[in-house]
Chains A and B, each alone.
Chain A
């Protein structure tokens, strides 16, 4: 029986083999959207064997690109090929780009059989265009908060925080920020032209610095242009819609925040002006500190802490009332006794004033080179319950 089967199949196999050699199949080039690879199928077993061997005896990048070249479709024929890895897997020649191919971008792919090592045929190259479809996402990212949250900024306001609903592009936001005065005219050079990475870790918060050279009295930019903000006038912060989010999409809407400029704050912070409301022993009610003027929202998150018996008290921080109130809710109920509020030296108000040290520091004739106080302590007592 087996001899009969062999006898019958042999001519068929020979015929198939001859047919394959006489009319080679056209390779099929496809973008594998699941793996984000480019797969070439329909290659002869001999070609696959040769290319498999090439993975053991590596071809140079140029040799691989001679066989299978992937390039950004740009009209520049001399443009370099896209870098990536080549392998024969499951009967296909697979190109895995070093970086995932962009959505919405077209790539030209050329398979040239005659460049397969040892290949003697003169089969013409096959070129196709592949591409991942453009994203169907629609703009949805918005500015959710601005800090300071008050609608009154001192004329020497130093920085702002912009919060976004989703991660943003990592580039600077300088080009997308505008400040308009109450006549609708742009206040030029209001912000520091930084290309620094002023994002938080997930790029949902961006720090905007007013140009300190204009903020600070007596400095040349201040003398030439004055402060960007004039007390008594109204302004509008504009965040342009074309600032891109993490998906490369513009914001859903342009964002505007109106505020009034008030008198500059040019004196240092003093903890004696803080009002502390101590909690009751046995409760988990928050410790509350009230400040006479708003403090910097970002720094309030980490510059203040509570210590009891030289150990930090664990709990959560809240900031309220336009950054004039700091609340600390302990994880465990308050034990009676003496506590300390520890303020680290970098705590600042809206104008960059620190504890015992105004942003408008002395001029050169009175240069102060003493070290800043590292920490300031404000004691309070949790009274035993009655």
Chain B
């Protein structure tokens, strides 16, 4: 079985976790394409994740479509690794012919072989906003990866049904919040601009079709309520007791484990809340790493900084099944005070993480930092 370490991305929402009921929902099946070089067709670019053999999955949020991009020679050619770049948002903006206020960095992913950093960016903020992909190599050289002409295939997530609205375009949109490649399949989390719901879908790669997906219900110990509709914000695959799991984060900020095998349309599973990491917060990114013979989860948050969570008790940790009296509970964590303003996070190598961190002055910098 192939188990690929990957990264996550994020977005938002409140509520969440302890028992999960995964409930099947019918849906139409996606479109999928064959690999052929062409104009990229990407309307937007958001979450990134690397898959087998360095294929780059890039989510087009606006089109609810995932592109599998064969980077070809764009994957390497530069110095291996990724060197620190101070004020990288300003430099990227200059290359794109604008200023840093007019771009949004949407994700960061490290190539599994070259260890070059790939950064997704939206150039512009209005109707003419366009996607861009950039590579930063070990010499700190920033290059734009031209998407046109690269071999790529795509899978489009099915939108929810629109009944009785023939001829009208469905105003509902589903946005992709995170994705990860797990055991031959891409797992995709999304949320909608209408119903307050969470969707997890699996997509086999090479793309053929998209499973109709599962909607996820969770119990949040801190909130003390069974909550039905909280979307997954960020997740990472991890083997708990040698069984593939997803470790998922929500706002406010429960941490939940559930087996990958539960992601079957129609299945009902009970997930487990293993930690409550604090209220009025949401995770933006998480990675798993190993240090000193032990595994840790590193989580970047919007308002509670970066947290280091030892995973050794993930298997044995009792699920939080009652209201917690304080803002935190379950598996303990250690705040990493030295890391501030972290907006994106990925593993650079066994010893270091690569972060995009925003200084108080507003500039975004690419930095390699030692894993805590």
A residues near B, CB below 8 A? 70-72, 74, 76, 79-84, 97-102, 105, 107, 158-159, 167, 169-171, 192-201, 203, 205, 207, 209, 211-213, 216, 218-221, 244-248, 296, 298-299, 301-306, 312, 314-317, 328, 331, 342, 344, 346, 348, 352, 357, 361-364, 366-372, 374
Majority SS of interface residues in chain A? loop
B1 is an interface residue with CB less than 8 A from chain A: no
Whether the Cβ atoms of A248 and B125 lie closer than 8 Å is yes
What are 6 of the A-B contact pairs (CB < 8 Å)?
A82-B94, A196-B191, A212-B15, A220-B279, A306-B164, A364-B323
Q: How large is the interface on B (under 10, 10 to 19, 20 to 34, 35 or more residues)?
A: 35 or more
Q: Is B317 an interface residue (CB 8 A)?
A: no
Seed contacts A72-B99, A79-B91, A306-B164; 10 additional CB < 8 Å A-B pairs: A98-B97, A195-B11, A246-B126, A246-B127, A247-B126, A247-B127, A302-B160, A312-B163, A317-B165, A364-B323
Contact assessment for A298 and B172 in the assembled complex, using a CB-CB cutoff below 8 Å: yes
When chains A and B are docked, how far (Å) is the Cα of A306 from the Cα of B166? 12
Contacts of A342 in B (CB 8 A): 163
Among B196, B252, B322, B323, contact of A158 (Cβ-Cβ < 8 Å):
B196
Q: Min CB distance, A105 to chain B, in Å?
A: 7
CB distance from A153 to the nearest CB of B (A): 17
Given known contacts A200-B193, A344-B163, A169 and B97 CB-to-CB distance under 8 angstroms: no
Q: Which B residues lie within 8 Å of A82 (CB)?
A: 94-97
Q: Contact string, B1-45, partner A, CB cutoff 8 A, digits 1/0?
A: 000000000011111001101011110000000000000000010
Chain B residues near A212: list those with CB within 8 A.
13-15, 196, 229-230
A207 touching B160, Cβ below 8 Å = no
The reply to whether the CB of B130 lies closer than 8 angstroms to some CB of chain A is yes
Inter-subunit contact A170/B125 (CB<8 Å):
yes
**CA–CA, A83 to B129, complex, Å?**
16
Contact of B144 among A83, A159, A216, A369 (CB under 8 A): A83
**A211/B14 contact (C-beta < 8 A), A169-B126, A371-B23 known:** yes
Docked pose: A369 CA to B172 CA in angstroms: 26
Q: Which 5 A-B pairs have the closest CB atoms?
A: A305-B163, A246-B127, A369-B21, A302-B162, A246-B126
Rounded to whole angstroms, the CA-CA distance of A342 and B146 in the bound complex is 47
Contact between B126 and A196, CB atoms less than 8 A apart:
no
Q: A83-B144, A361-B228, A368-B226 are in contact. Are A200 and B171 (CB under 8 A)?
A: yes
With A72-B99, A192-B12 as known contacts, state yes or no: A170 contacts B252, CB within 8 Å.
no
The yes or no answer to B219 lying at the interface (CB within 8 A) is: yes
> How far, in whole Å, are A371 and B266 apart by their CA atoms in the complex?
9
Residues from chain B with Cβ under 8 Å of A331 in the complex: 166
Note all chain A residues with C-beta closer than 8 A to B220.
219
From residue A284, how far is it (CB to closest CB) to chain B in Å?
15
List of A residues within 8 angstroms of B15 by Cβ: 212-213, 216, 219
**Inter-subunit contact B126/A301 (CB<8 Å):** no
Residues of chain B within 8 A (CB-CB) of A200 are 171-173, 193
| Also in contact, A367 and B19, with CB within 8 A (given A74-B99, A83-B95, A99-B97) | yes
Please indicate the chain A residues that have their CB under 8 angstroms from the CB of B344 in the complex: none
Name B226-274 residues within 8 Å CB distance of A: 226-230, 252, 268, 270
CB distance from B235 to the nearest CB of A (A): 16
Do B12 and A195 touch across chains, with their CB atoms under 8 A apart? yes
- A369 to B269 CA separation, bound complex (whole angstroms): 9
Q: Is the Cβ of A244 less than 8 Å from the Cβ of B126?
A: yes
- Cβ B23 vs Cβ A196 within 8 A: no
| Contact assessment for A197 and B226 in the assembled complex, using a CB-CB cutoff below 8 Å | no
CB atoms of A317 and B164 under 8 A apart: yes
Cβ–Cβ contact B97 & A97, under 8 A:
yes
Closest chain-B Cβ to A267's Cβ sits at a distance in Å of: 15
Q: Beyond A344-B161, A371-B23, is A194–B11 a contact (Cβ under 8 Å)?
A: yes
- A330 CB to nearest B CB, Å: 10
B360 interfacial contact with A, CB 8 Å? no
Q: Which residue of A lies closest to B177 (CB)?
A: A196
- Report yes or no: A220 in contact with B222, Cβ–Cβ below 8 A: yes
Known: A79-B90, A99-B124, A304-B163. A374 touches B14 (CB 8 A): no
A247 to chain B minimum Cβ distance, whole angstroms, is 6
Of all chain B residues, the one with the shortest Cβ separation from A224 is B279
Cβ–Cβ contact B26 & A374, under 8 A: yes
Complex CA–CA separation, A291 to B119 (angstroms)? 49
Q: Is the CB of A100 within 8 A of B128?
A: yes
